[in-house]
Copies of this chain bind each other. A is one copy, B any other.
Amino acid sequence: MEKKSIALACRMDSERAIKLSKRIFEFLVKKGEVVYLETRIAPKIFPHNGIDLNSMTSKNTKFLISVGGDGTLLRVANGISQSDPPPILGVNIGSIGFLDETNDRRVYKDLIKVLKGEFIIETCVKLAPYIVKNSEEIKLNNALNEILIVSSKNSKVLQISVKVNGIFLNRSYLDGVIISTSTGSTAYNLSAGGSIITPTLDIMQITPVNSFARSGLRPMVLPIDSEIEITPLRPRLNARIIIDGQQTIKKVMPHTRIRIRKANSHVKFIRLTDNYYENYFRRLRKKIIGTIRTPFDDSPEE
């Protein structure tokens, strides 16, 4: 690849996603762009142009188009080069698609903007989870949204111990615990009662999931350079680690220490806007929190 190309990845289990990807491919080829396709969809669109996700870097790829929803986008973000990732443009065809910047109706107009360079880049930190075995750390995949540690049985609560930077914070009974980035704060973290964090803030948030009344752990925001250590404590009850809702580590034995630190990689999103806050608040209001419409006369009765 001498000239930088555009890459295209998409959800595989949706006919709509594949059709849309095809149309976007043709649209860009007509514009004179070289478009590469994630290996697994290449056969369905243009078999010669396949390339593996993990070969996509900012050196060979102007930007990567992800067609699907947040699930697709998380898979793509975790699959591309971690050291030098190209920026991603998310195209939503699903139900929420909070991280996506555009959708099936607006995508062609928005691609023209991107080709003209009319966009800003949102850079998001990622988290790196580790399992400690025989005092050695085994690194797991990075997370853009969150690392979830849950009981391996729906019906048995974990007891976990939480340490931060080696200092004991709390022991709690709960279904699980979420360690999320600011990017992930509007995802599972929000459903579990955590705060929304502006993505411009580099932090981690610990949020308990369905904790027992007297456990005490509450959503807590920590500096991004913190080291969180979670240890499941109950004898004979394994934990699971779920990374960005994509990858599951199934049998984490009691007393295994799970550590989470800032990852050495990041994700770049294309945002078609002058003002990042305007873009972020609009997505937040439309897709997540909503707003009240003021009625004609809103005065309270006297």
Contact = CB atoms under 8 A, between A and B. Distances in A.
A215 B288 CA distance: 10
Interface stretch (A52-60, A113-121, A123-131, A187-195): A187-195
A234 B211 CA distance: 27
Contacts of A35: none
Given A191-B175, A213-B191, A299-B237, A155 B292 contact: no
Interface stretch (A25-33, A64-72, A132-140): A64-72
Interface stretch (A42-50, A81-89, A242-250): A242-250
B148 A155 contact: yes
A109 interface: no
A277 B191 contact: no
A190 B170 contact: no
A160 to B, nearest CB: 10
Contacts of A240: 154
Interface in A179-228: 182, 185, 188, 190-198, 200-201, 203, 205, 207, 209-223, 226
A170 B291 contact: yes
8 contacts: A13-B236, A14-B301, A154-B242, A159-B294, A171-B292, A198-B226, A213-B216, A214-B288
A42 to B, nearest CB: 19
A205 B195 contact: yes
